[in-house]
Amino acid sequence: MTWIDLTRTIHAELATWPGDPKPELLPANRIENGDSCNTSFLRLNSHLGTHLDAPYHFEEEGKRLQDLPLDPLLGPATLIDLTHKTSHIDRQDLESQNLQGVQRLLIKTSYGDKLELPEFFEDFIGLAPDAAEYVVEKGITLVGIDYLSIEPFAQPEHHTHHTLLRNEVVIVEGLDLSPLSPGTYEFICLPLKIKDCDGSPCRAVAKRITGEN
């Protein structure tokens, strides 16, 4: 089986969180202008496109990007398809799945394709607080979703983020899960190692584990 790219291409029309600037690729050196090479300046938010949340994103004393352990970022991940959901994912939705022994959980929703549109959809599907608590109870070390946030828009007190990040559950948001069907995959998701940062765009890939249908 070949590796499947789950990473959104960063471009100016990619949806961003309300109030965040669009990404910019600014020329620094250009061969066509007589320079010896091409180099560029990048201007983008740390939570753009396919990205990872470090605990410091919502926890003042939480781990920062350079302190994240690698183990949660590499290994088997289980994808569940919740594209039928029209409201937020609650504990019962996760209890109905077979998550015994799952360490990394990827959640496919009906909003994944909307991330490629320039407008932001406030009604995207996220995890309710009790679902986040269930993730922690199951010992899951990484949870990924296909829109810009793991928690519903304007959630009071940001319970979902706090519950996950206080318990050092790695959050990956903005994944392109469209090529995947339910099952178990070898998963790799690596952010940039930026000192003291709260998150980073990352490259995420997956490969179906041999023996899976």
54-88 burial by CB neighbour count: b if 16+ within 10 A, else e?
bbbbbeeebebbeebeeebbeeebbbbbbeeeeeb
Show the tokens assigned to 82: 């919740």
Beta bridge partners of 185: 77, 208
Which of 97, 42, 103 has its CA nearest to residue 71? Answer: 103
- Which of 47, 57, 161, 162 does the annotation list as catalytic? 57
Q: What is the dihedral of CA 44, 4, 173, 144, to 10 degrees?
A: -160
Tell me whether residue 43 is exposed, middle or buried, using C-beta atoms within 10 angstroms of its C-beta: 0 to 12, 13 to 18, 19 or more. exposed
Clarify whether 84 is annotated catalytic. Answer: no
Helix or strand holding residue 199 (H, E): strand 199-208
Just list the catalytic residues. Answer: 57
